[in-house]
Structure formats: C-alpha cells, structure tokens
Amino acid sequence: MTATCAYFITGTDTDIGKTLVSAAMLHVLAESGIRAAGMKPVAAGAVLRDGVLHNGDADALAAAASVALPAELTTPYLLREPASPHIAAALEGIEINPQHIQACYDRVAAMADAVVVEGVGGFRVPLNATFDTADLAQQLALPVVMVVGLRLGCINHALLSAEAIAARGLKLVGWVGNVVDLGMQHGIANVETLSARLQAPLLGCVPRLPAALPAAAASHLDFSSLPGWPVAAVRRNPSQ
C-alpha cells in the first residue's frame, strides 16, 4: 500500500489552528473509510504521563487518524521544551535529521491511503542550524494547505507565507481561515481580501468553537477541491 494523496499543513504563525484543521482533514477521511494517517514530524512541548512523553498536537492527530501507527514514526522528534525546535533539540542534545524524517514519512505513506503532515509554527521555523520547516516541506514535496489565523495582521502574514511557499517551488492548494481573535474588526473584509490575492481556493472559515473538536471544525470546511482528495461528499454546516 502506498498513499495516493498527502498534504503538508502549514500556518501563518504558531497557535493558529494547524492541528485543528489537520485533525479535521483526518476526521473527514476516516469517516469516509479512507485509511488516513497523521504525522507531526517535529513536536516541541511534551509532558511525561505514565512514563510516556505526550504532545497535545501529536495526540490530536493520532486520535483523528484511522491508521494507528507507532509514535516513533508519526512524531520522530518529540521534544520536551515548548520552544523553537532547534532550541528544544539542543537542550536535549538532539540533532534533528531530515533524512530520518523522510524515512519515517516513507514508512507512514506505505501503510496508509492518505497522509496529513502538520508542520510546526509558521512556514520557516528552524529545525537545526541549516534546515527549517520550509526545507522540510520542500523535501517532502507535498501540496501545501495554509491555515491563516484570523486576527489583525493576518493579510500580511498570509501573503508573505504564500510567497515563501511559492519560492520553494511548492503548490499552495488551499487555505483555511481560523478565528483566533473574537474581537477582530472587518474579519469578512480580510477574508475577501485574501481570497482575491491568494492563488488558491478558500476551503472554509472555522469560527471560535465551544470545543475545538475535529468534527465541529470539519463541518465548516470543504476539502473537495484539494488535488487527489478521495472523498466525494462535501461536508458543510447548514448555517453557512
């Protein structure tokens, strides 16, 4: 088995909803009977529970996926310190190896029909002295979905991120707006501005949810325009 579709999920910043959108994608795939695996190659910020390190983002992807895989494959670098990965890794005496990440991805892709790979932070976050998350996206050569945190400044952050994605020869195949600031003014106008300037379809906007659950987020999103997306049915919130 080899994955027939895979996507790299990036964002305009940290804590803007990459994990929620990634988990929503996995939820839709799993609900449709697709063998879907989630990957968070590098996760910084882990706690020890019952002798096992856990990271909230990695755990959320594992819970939404329909293929259960060892954490050593889905998150080959699980770091304790909640800091930029190159700093967190250095504190533990670890060197993040791009070839190891690639090898883990290849094994995950061999055991699933679809793979959702979530980056860390924004598009250009250092992983070691010479390699960052943009390099990782380029190495994996996957179509990119960008999550835009809807707050003041998001237009600039999104357009700069889109330029950086294109500069790496990667295809931005869709973007998602996620409300992170309930007090943001002119939110609709911001989304309209981005829709006019980004050369990728808007997959939907996720409002502030009572609980950040993948199924709830998925009800506001439509992934059917993504290249190779294997789910024919479009899931929509009736209120939209």
User: Locate tokens 């919130």: which residue?
Assistant: 237
Instruction: Check: CB of residue 172 under 8 Å from CB of residue 165.
Output: yes
pLDDT of residue 238: 39
Whether residue 237 has pLDDT greater than 60: no
Both tokens of 29, joined, read 């795939």
Q: What is the pLDDT of residues 4-41, one digit of tens each?
A: 999 999 999 999 999 999 999 999 999 999 999 999 99
Mean pLDDT of 105-133: 97
Cα distance between residue 227 and residue 11, in whole Å = 19
Express as a percent the part of the chain with pLDDT over 90.
Answer: 92
Average pLDDT over residues 191-220: 97
Residue 94 CA to residue 231 CA, distance in Å, equals 39
Range of the domain at 41: 5-218
Decide if 233 is inside a domain. no
Tokens representing 63? 């819970």
Q: State the alpha helices, DSSP H only, in 93-220.
A: 98-109, 133-140, 154-167, 187-197, 214-218
What is the pLDDT confidence band of residue 51, given thresholds at 50, 70 and 90? confident
- Asked whether residue 167 is assigned to any structural domain, the reply reads yes
Helix (H), strand (E) at residue 57: helix 56-64
Between helix 98-109 and helix 133-140 the angle, nearest 10°, is 40
Residue 132 belongs to a domain = yes
> Quick check: is 113 in a domain?
yes
d(C-alpha 42, C-alpha 105), whole Å: 12
Average model confidence (pLDDT) for the chain? 94
Number of domains, the chain: 1
Q: What element of type H or E holds 72?
A: helix 71-74
What's the pLDDT score for residue 18? 98
pLDDT at 61: 98
Instruction: Give the per-residue pLDDT at 201.
Output: 98
- Bridge partners (DSSP) of residue 53 are 48
Which of the four pLDDT bands, split at 50, 70 and 90, describes residue 1? low
Do the beta carbons of residue 221 and residue 24 sit within 8 Å? yes
Identify whether 76 is part of a domain.
yes
> Which pLDDT belongs to residue 186?
95
Q: Which residues are catalytic?
A: 40
Residue at 240 is within a domain: no
Q: Which pLDDT band, with edges at 50, 70 and 90, does 231 fall under?
A: confident
pLDDT beyond 50 at 126: yes
Residue 2: CB partners within 8 Å, gap ≥ 6? 109, 110
Report the distance separating Cα 81 and Cα 67, nearest Å: 28
d(CA 25, CA 116): 8
Residue pLDDT, tens place only, 182-198: 999 999 999 999 999 99
Asked whether residue 239 is domain-assigned, the answer is no
Q: The domain that contains 59 carries what CATH number?
A: 3.40.50.300
The dihedral of CA 168, 170, 171, 173: what is its sign? negative
Partners of 144 in the β-ladder? 8, 172
CB 174 within 8 A of CB 147: no
Q: Is residue 204 part of a domain?
A: yes
